[in-house]
A and B are shown apart, each in its own frame.
Chain A
């Protein structure tokens, strides 16, 4: 048996599989499919302070090997999520990460505080890719100084470990990662969706009312892998790789490139049992390649430079 445990510094996970925020609902939706305790952890759907209706439809568009979404972080708000997590934790012990959103810094802090006080939330992932109301829709992650500032303010106030979730839609992601680390992030997760767009040729208009939407799915895997590789080389804190991961092979590639754990996204929506299959594939591949532990694989990629 391969040792699948992953060390994130602030915690040890039984395995590297963490379904990503927005692709695993509030956990409860997957209870009919499998026991959530098989997972390393899971990230609940991103949450703002107040309940949100989300964007008008259409909210998704399929691309070659990918999915564009403009859901608009619909959800029950922080207190609604607290109630959902209370119910979930009666049925499962899966480590739970709350994806904290905010329209401005104050909202991030308020939401983070609520879940710092919520025993059902184990760790916080700060979604710094939310459009900021004071910056014309630009997100915190697109400004490394702001990323530092926000992470620092959250870290000063919050006792639970915090993970900074980075956006790939930046000129230099290494700079943002370093500033998040300097600000006190305990880990970094990357990447959120890539901005893209879809066109309705017949009606000569954009498919999405917001024009741009977030691209996810197998199509983004090589792009995400490159960014995870770069960030893992420059920060000291653990990196959680995200982007199109759909198989055991994908997981091991991200770990080889420096990720300590991974988040699976779109595949959970297409194949609700994906986590079971992926874990099985990891067992098979590690056995074939005589990999004894994921820790020995982590960051062990060979390259000329």
Chain B
């Protein structure tokens, strides 16, 4: 964990409100693991004051990749960043996904939750038998599909709320179907809280070990401010420091 002044070497818009930033960094790109995140300053003007937490999408050589979706003031500024601009980044932060081999894995993603799962897939898909269920509001929000199609997934199920690609409606319908037919050893999920509430009982009924990567509004990202807490069976835990990945059995 370190504060690093990095340079954006590529800013590639992939939709109207989503951009992939390729960031050159010596320290963060050499140490980050799937599941980690970084805190990024939108600017150095103290407005917005706080850094923004962003999941690491990928790492290649001395660069790491972030996907920024414009959901407010801070992410709008980050999404508009251009090649050559400097970024103050703190990272890598948080825990990482469990490293597993030769297992049957189910990945579940909702919306921008695809970010840490993409990094996970890049590293672990080839070593396991992996199925992905990925839902978003509409076709244009189902991101990285070309890359996923090139990876060695057993199956991929796409969902959109409006039916513009894949199955219409929430991912729970595909999840129910597949859990009836197939066995999985592990599941890893990332998405909005409403998704977690819907899939948690289903997953826990059929799969022995399930992990959620949680999203939270954070003050610091390294366990100091105690703001991003989540209720667990053993009291409040910090999403930034104790997570962002939690075994679902810990969560209430």
Report, as a range, how many residues of chain A touch the other chain.
Answer: 20 to 34
* Contact partners of A266 in chain B: CB under 8 A: 49
A53-B227 in contact (CB<8A):
no
B165 proximal to A (CB < 8 A)? no
B2-A32 in contact (CB<8A):
yes
Q: Which 9 A-B pairs have the closest CB atoms?
A: A269-B220, A60-B227, A59-B227, A25-B224, A269-B225, A29-B224, A218-B46, A60-B219, A74-B226
Residues of A within 8 A of B (CB): 22-25, 29-30, 32-33, 53-54, 56-60, 62-67, 69, 71, 74, 217-218, 246, 266, 268-273
Q: How far is the CA of A63 from the CA of B48 in the complex (A)?
A: 8
Smallest CB separation, A30 vs chain B (Å): 8
Partner of A218 from the list B49, B51, B225 (CB cut-off 8 Å) is B49
B226-A54 in contact (CB<8A):
yes
Smallest CB separation, A280 vs chain B (Å): 14
Q: Given A24-B224, A60-B219, A67-B219, answer yes or no on A272-B90 (Cβ-Cβ < 8 Å).
A: yes
Identify which of residues 216-252 in chain B touch chain A, using a CB-to-CB cut-off of 8 Å: 217, 219-220, 222-231, 235-236
Q: How far is the CA of A69 from the CA of B50 in the complex (A)?
A: 13
B178 proximal to A (CB < 8 A)? no
B50-A272 in contact (CB<8A):
no
Q: How far is the CA of A33 from the CA of B90 in the complex (A)?
A: 11
Q: How many interface contacts (CB-CB < 8 Å) are there between A and B? A: 80
Q: Given A59-B227, A69-B227, answer yes or no on A53-B236 (Cβ-Cβ < 8 Å).
A: yes
Partner of A54 from the list B47, B217, B229 (CB cut-off 8 Å) is B229
Q: Is the interface of B mostly helix, strand, loop or mixed?
A: loop
Smallest CB separation, A93 vs chain B (Å): 21
* Contact partners of A29 in chain B: CB under 8 A: 222-224
Q: Is the interface of A mostly helix, strand, loop or mixed?
A: loop
* Contact partners of B17 in chain A: CB under 8 A: none
| Residue of B with least CB distance to A271 | B3
B225-A69 in contact (CB<8A):
yes
Q: How far is the CA of A60 from the CA of B229 in the complex (A)?
A: 11
Q: Given A32-B1, A32-B2, A59-B229, answer yes or no on A64-B222 (Cβ-Cβ < 8 Å).
A: no
B49-A270 in contact (CB<8A):
yes
* Contact partners of B217 in chain A: CB under 8 A: 58, 60
Interface centre among B3, B49, B88, B219 (most CB of A within 10 A): B49
Q: Given A32-B1, A74-B236, answer yes or no on A62-B50 (Cβ-Cβ < 8 Å).
A: yes
B225-A60 in contact (CB<8A):
yes
Partner of B50 from the list A32, A64, A67 (CB cut-off 8 Å) is A67
Interface centre among A29, A30, A269, A273 (most CB of B within 10 A): A269
Q: Given A58-B217, A65-B46, answer yes or no on A268-B224 (Cβ-Cβ < 8 Å).
A: yes
Q: Given A32-B2, A33-B3, A269-B219, answer yes or no on A71-B226 (Cβ-Cβ < 8 Å).
A: yes
Identify which of residues 25-55 in chain B touch chain A, using a CB-to-CB cut-off of 8 Å: 41, 46-51
